[in-house]
């Protein structure tokens, strides 16, 4: 059974009950194939955060179906047993800020996830070093986060998101604090990693600089998504 790619169908999320109930998601459809990077764009209050939490297995949807490859995660009220383990093993997170642990060096920051999963420290660090090499920050492997530039910190954060080779990565405004050049560099890295590890990457963004780089874009408005073809400019 493959767990590559993500497919969601009719995803709904309701907060509260009765008269005070709020429908944050009213039927979201989305498909991201392995190796693909798509954009998710929407104004504040559109349901973007709720969708992100559902995709990240932080909250459960009220209705709808979500699958990773052939593996069903949610299906109309049914859910997979251990959402935390799913989050740890199948979903990578990249945030707006790198959120590196200040008292761990670069390698330990990246190795944190396999460590949490109980992998031996040496194996975890080996995985981390491989990714740091792929992201061209291996020379800072022993540095502390405070010694890195903003771009380096974000690359380390990307390495952390990829270290467990998750089939899905959720990147929440990953380029917001970066200038154009660095923002595009991050997108280039994400595309490269998506291709190399067959990862489906969803980039939530407001960043006008990077929107033209997506081949496909999902817009979300009032809890409903609309798909649009993007320009895919940088990589043409």
Partner 1 sequence: MRVADAIRLSQSGVFSQKMRSFLTALGIAVGIASVVLLTSIGEGIHQFVLSEFTQFGTNLMGINPGVTKTHGTPGAMISNIRPLTIEDSLALKEIPEILGVVPLVQGNGPVEYKEKTRRTYIFGVGHKVPEVWQMRVMGGRFLPDDDPRSARPFAVLGSRVREELFKSDNPLGKLVRIGGERYRIIGIMESKGQMLGFDLDDAVYIPVARALSMFNRESLMEIDILYMKGISTDQVIKKVKTLLTGRHGTEDYTITTQEQMLDVLGSVLNILTLAVGALGGISLFVGAIGILTIMTIAVQERTSEIGLLRAIGAGRGQILLLFIGEAITLSAIGGFAGLLLGMGGAFILSIAVPSLPTHTPILYVFYAELLAVFIGLLSGVVPAWRASRMDPVEALRSE
Least distance from partner 1 to the Cβ atom of residue 50, Å: 10
Helices then strands (H, E): number in the chain? Answer: 6, 11
Least distance from partner 1 to the Cβ atom of residue 19, Å: 25
Of 18 and 118, CB closest to partner 1: 118
Alpha carbons within 13 A on the beta-carbon side of 142: 0
Least distance from partner 1 to the Cβ atom of residue 53, Å: 5
Other beta carbons less than 10 A from residue 181's beta carbon = 10
Of 125 and 184, CB closest to partner 1: 125
Phi, psi of 47 (to 5 degrees): 105, 10
Which CA distances in Å does 41 have to 75, 101, 135, 145?
25, 29, 26, 30
Of 95 and 216, CB closest to partner 1: 95
Phi, psi of 232 (to 5 degrees): 55, 40
Alpha carbon distance 136, 101 (integer Å) = 20
Residues 6+ apart with CB under 8 A from 104: 112, 144, 145
Least distance from partner 1 to the Cβ atom of residue 113, Å: 5
Least distance from partner 1 to the Cβ atom of residue 174, Å: 13
Of 93 and 214, CB closest to partner 1: 93
Query: Is the Cβ–Cβ distance between 29 and 6 less than 8 Å?
Result: no
Of 184 and 202, CB closest to partner 1: 202
Residues binding partner 1 (CB under 8 A): 49, 52-53, 56, 58, 84-85, 87-89, 93, 95, 97, 99, 101-104, 108, 112-113, 115-118, 120-121, 160
Of 20 and 44, CB closest to partner 1: 44
Least distance from partner 1 to the Cβ atom of residue 112, Å: 7
H or E element in which residue 158 lies: helix 150-162
């Amino acid at each position: 059974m493959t767990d590559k790619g993500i497919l969601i169908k009719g995803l709904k999320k309701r907060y509260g009950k009765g008269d005070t109930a709020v429908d944050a998601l009213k039927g979201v459809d989305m498909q991201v194939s392995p190796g693909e990077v798509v954009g998710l764009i929407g104004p504040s209050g559109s349901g973007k955060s709720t969708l992100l939490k559902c995709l990240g297995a932080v909250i459960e949807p009220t209705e709808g179906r979500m699958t990773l490859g052939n593996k069903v995660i949610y299906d109309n009220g049914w859910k997979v047993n251990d959402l935390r383990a799913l989050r740890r093993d199948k979903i990578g997170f990249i945030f707006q800020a790198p959120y590196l642990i200040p008292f761990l060096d670069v390698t330990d920051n990246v190795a944190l996830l396999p460590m949490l999963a109980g992998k031996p420290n040496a194996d975890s660090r080996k995985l981390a070093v491989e990714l740091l090499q792929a992201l061209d920050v291996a020379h800072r492997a022993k540095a502390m986060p405070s010694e890195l530039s903003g771009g380096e910190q974000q690359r380390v954060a990307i390495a952390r998101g990829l270290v467990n080779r998750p089939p899905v990565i959720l990147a929440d405004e990953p380029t917001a604090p970066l200038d154009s050049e660095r923002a595009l560099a991050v997108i280039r890295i994400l595309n490269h990693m998506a291709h190399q590890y067959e990862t489906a990457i969803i980039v939530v963004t407001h960043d006008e600089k990077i929107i033209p780089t997506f081949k496909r874009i999902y817009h979300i408005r009032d809890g409903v998504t609309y798909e649009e073809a993007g320009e895919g400019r940088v990589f043409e």
